[in-house]
């Protein structure tokens, strides 16, 4: 091995011995050199000797297969370096600066930030191409049955990511960027999924109209079209609370009681519970029970609030304000110091402001009636807090499939009985037909969507034993989106993602599959064999991958805006000449 400057020279000769077309002898066509960087070997100068048929110059030129397994044709960075950078970025969620420092520390490889981004893009393109190339093998595994979970995440109407996922295994089957959740944008991705991996046993999604229209062909084939129980309950709750809750939120904001309570808490924290000090409420001590009371009114017990409408934070805040006087009597017993007496009196004045506006009472009564009905429906559906999208997955208990199937049948029967009970209440109340009572709202939703709440297929083994049941929520996709947002924040190093979610390539969703050992076994055997699998992809396979895009749908318009503004600046900066009139 020789060296060229600081780089070692490695020779590669085409391994072919005879012409593949005519079986004739080969001759040296030419030699060429290029710098190659691999993760294992570092940087070196690769000199490749090409061979060609000695009898016919129109026959193909033979290249070195050994070099082709290390690095792609006309590329500088090896496949193992592509995989190393891609896994560090999308599996370990490292930032570009961290990847650069790690490569230099471990292998002495120096790469610019732009090269890191380039390698990440190559990783995603090759990963999608390999995913499509292994579609027949993946389809063979899914042939035993898979539920198709569908969901999209769209930020402020600017488009987003649509994912088709195997809910049983957690594999992302197809992912694509969409400008909106219209059926015309979702249907091609659903059709691509079924074309590649076969028809599912059921589809599970939210209550969006676009998703329902996108799977119309599957529904016509008799495939169960199920809606997520969480989204169903959420839709009922939003309908029950929408007007009253919006009014309560607006009243609390205009009343500014929260702001004044925070000011009170800040003033109380200036006092000590041991030595007297001068403060807003005079000189003396304030026991910690009083600041704790004000903090409880503001934030409750400190536990995480459930998602709306499963948690009504403004209503519970109002209810805590109503309990402030009673709690003060229990928490701050006598004898009280001067600052404590004055602070409690001031607290009473603050919360009393809520009782001076009759609109508070009307909104709260309406919300409490709706909340009681909502909790009844939730109890009937047996949807626990652990089954909500943002719940801790560690708190979820996986039931045996056969037991879960029996429970779903019991829930179905209970919902039917509850529907009959509500009908009896409505008839007994004598309310007019157009009334929007909580009972009538719930009956309307049950009649409209009840048939899509049940009928979850069972998956059985060869002996007929139930091994799995389709999930009744869409949490597998909801958790996926939540986890990926956390990973994206880690990769970018900022909490506010802004346009980052919109610009994230769809292929990044497929990288999450590499966390599933069963998927990796089909894809390449083991993760350390992924570079070899990338090297085996031909040009046709790479052409099947979706073009990788990072720009949003308004990029062309924004380019036009910049061009127009630049044109205006050039006109404004051009020298002005006065018009001369010749007489």
> What is the mean predicted confidence (pLDDT) over 544-569?
71
Q: For residue range 454-508, list pLDDT tens digits in order.
A: 999 999 888 888 889 999 999 999 999 989 988 988 998 887 776 667 778 899 9
- State residue 390's pLDDT score: 72
Q: For residue range 131-178, list pLDDT tens digits in order.
A: 999 999 999 999 999 999 999 987 655 568 999 999 999 999 999 988
* Phi and psi, residue 77, nearest 5°: -95, 135
- State residue 497's pLDDT score: 73
**Neighbour-count burial of 197, counting CB atoms closer than 10 A to its CB (0-12 exposed, 13-18 middle, 19+ buried):** buried
Q: What percentage of the chain reaches a pLDDT higher than 90? A: 70
pLDDT confidence bin for 202, thresholds 50/70/90: very high
Query: What's the pTM?
Result: 0.86
Can you say whether the dihedral through the CA atoms of 389, 87, 505, 163 is positive or negative?
A: negative
> What is the mean predicted confidence (pLDDT) over 233-237?
96
- State residue 303's pLDDT score: 86
Q: How many helices (H) and strands (E) does the chain have?
A: 24, 13
> What is the mean predicted confidence (pLDDT) over 363-392?
92
Q: For residue range 167-183, list pLDDT tens digits in order.
A: 999 999 999 988 888 99
**Strand 7-13 relative to strand 26-38: parallel, antiparallel, unpaired?**
unpaired
151: three-class secondary structure by DSSP: strand
pLDDT surpassing 80 at residue 2: no
DSSP state of 207: S
pLDDT surpassing 60 at residue 344: yes
Q: For residue range 52-99, list pLDDT tens digits in order.
A: 998 888 898 999 999 999 999 889 999 999 999 999 999 999 999 999
- State residue 583's pLDDT score: 31
> What is the mean predicted confidence (pLDDT) over 251-265?
95
- State residue 577's pLDDT score: 44
- State residue 267's pLDDT score: 94
Helices (H), 209-306: 209-214, 216-220, 229-255, 257-268, 289-299
Omega before 153 within 30 of 0, i.e. cis = no
Q: What percentage of the chain reaches a pLDDT higher than 70? A: 91
Tokens at 62, concatenated: 């033979």
> What is the mean predicted confidence (pLDDT) over 402-418?
95
pLDDT surpassing 90 at residue 548: no
The rounded radius of gyration (Å) of the Cα atoms in the chain is: 33
- State residue 162's pLDDT score: 94
- State residue 431's pLDDT score: 66
- State residue 343's pLDDT score: 95
Q: For residue range 506-530, list pLDDT tens digits in order.
A: 999 999 999 999 999 999 999 999 9
pLDDT surpassing 50 at residue 580: no
Distance (Å, whole) CA 38 – CA 346 = 71
- State residue 398's pLDDT score: 63
Tokens at 370, concatenated: 């709706």
- State residue 180's pLDDT score: 85
Q: Which of 313-317, 413-417, 461-465 has the lowest mean pLDDT?
A: 461-465
pLDDT confidence bin for 435, thresholds 50/70/90: low
Find, among 374, 373, 381, the residue nearest to 229 by Cα.
381
- State residue 501's pLDDT score: 73
Q: In what order do the strands lie in the sheet with 171-178?
A: 171-178, 160-166, 147-154, 202-205, 224-227
pLDDT surpassing 80 at residue 436: no
Separation of first and last alpha carbons in the chain: 87
- State residue 389's pLDDT score: 83
Residue 212 · residue 449 · CB < 8 Å: no
């Amino acid at each position: 091995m020789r060296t060229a400057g600081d780089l070692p020279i490695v020779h590669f000769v085409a391994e072919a011995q005879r012409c593949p077309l005519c079986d004739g002898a080969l001759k040296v066509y030419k030699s060429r050199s290029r710098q190659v960087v691999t993760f294992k070997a570092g940087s070196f100068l690769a000199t490749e000797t090409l061979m060609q048929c000695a009898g016919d110059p129109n026959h193909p030129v033979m290249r070195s297969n050994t070099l082709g397994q290390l690095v792609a044709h006309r590329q500088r960075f090896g496949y193992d370096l592509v995989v190393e950078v891609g896994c560090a970025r999308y599996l370990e969620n490292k930032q570009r600066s961290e990847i650069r420092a790690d490569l230099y520390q471990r292998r002495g490889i120096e790469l610019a930030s732009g090269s890191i981004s380039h390698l990440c893009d190559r990783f995603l393109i090759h990963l999608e191409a390999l995913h499509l190339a292994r579609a027949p093998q993946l389809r063979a595994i899914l042939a035993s049955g898979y539920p198709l979970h569908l969901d999209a995440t769209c930020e402020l109407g600017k488009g987003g990511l649509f994912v088709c996922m195997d809910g049983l295994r957690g594999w992302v089957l197809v992912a694509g960027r969409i400008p909106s959740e219209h059926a015309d944008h979702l249907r091609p991705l659903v059709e691509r999924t079924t074309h590649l991996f076969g028809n599912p046993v059921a589809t599970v999604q939210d209550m969006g109209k676009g998703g329902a229209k996108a799977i119309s062909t599957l529904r016509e084939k008799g495939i169960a079209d199920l809606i997520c129980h969480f989204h169903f309950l959420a839709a009922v709750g939003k309908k029950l609370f929408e007007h009253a809750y919006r009014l309560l939120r607006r009243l609390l904001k205009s009343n500014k009681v929260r702001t004044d309570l925070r000011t009170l808490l800040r003033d109380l924290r200036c006092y000590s519970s041991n030595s007297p000090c001068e403060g807003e409420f005079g000189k003396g001590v304030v026991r910690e029970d009083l600041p704790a009371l004000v903090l409880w009114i503001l934030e409750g017990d400190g536990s995480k609030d459930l998602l709306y409408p499963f948690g009504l934070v403004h209503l519970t805040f109002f209810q805590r304000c109503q309990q402030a006087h009673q709690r003060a009597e229990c928490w701050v017993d006598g004898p009280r110091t001067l600052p404590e007496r004055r602070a409690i009196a001031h607290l009473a004045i603050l919360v009393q402001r809520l009782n001076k506006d009759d609109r508070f009472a009307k909104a709260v009564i309406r919300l409490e009636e709706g909340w009681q009905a909502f909790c009844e429906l939730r109890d009937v559906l047996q949807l626990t807090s652990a089954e909500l999208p943002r719940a801790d997955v560690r708190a979820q208990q996986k039931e045996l499939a056969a037991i879960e199937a029996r429970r779903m049948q019991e829930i179905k029967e209970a919902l039917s009985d509850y529907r009959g009970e509500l009908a009896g209440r409505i008839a007994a109340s004598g309310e007019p037909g157009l009334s929007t009572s909580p009972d009538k709202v719930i009956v309307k939703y049950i009649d409209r969507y009840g048939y899509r709440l049940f009928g979850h297929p069972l998956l059985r083994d060869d002996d007929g034993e139930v091994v799995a049941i389709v999930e009744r929520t869409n949490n597998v996709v909801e958790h996926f989106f939540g986890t990926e947002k956390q990973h994206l924040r880690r990769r970018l190093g900022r909490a506010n993602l802004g346009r980052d979610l919109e610009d994230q390539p769809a292929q990044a969703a497929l990288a999450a599959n590499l966390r599933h050992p069963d998927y990796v076994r089909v894809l390449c055997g083991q993760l350390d064999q992924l570079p070899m699998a990338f090297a085996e992809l031909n040009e046709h396979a790479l052409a099947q991958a979706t073009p990788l895009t990072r720009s949003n749908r308004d990029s062309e318009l924004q380019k036009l805006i910049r061009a127009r503004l630049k044109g205006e600046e050039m006109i404004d900066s051009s020298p002005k000449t006065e018009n001369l009139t010749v007489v």
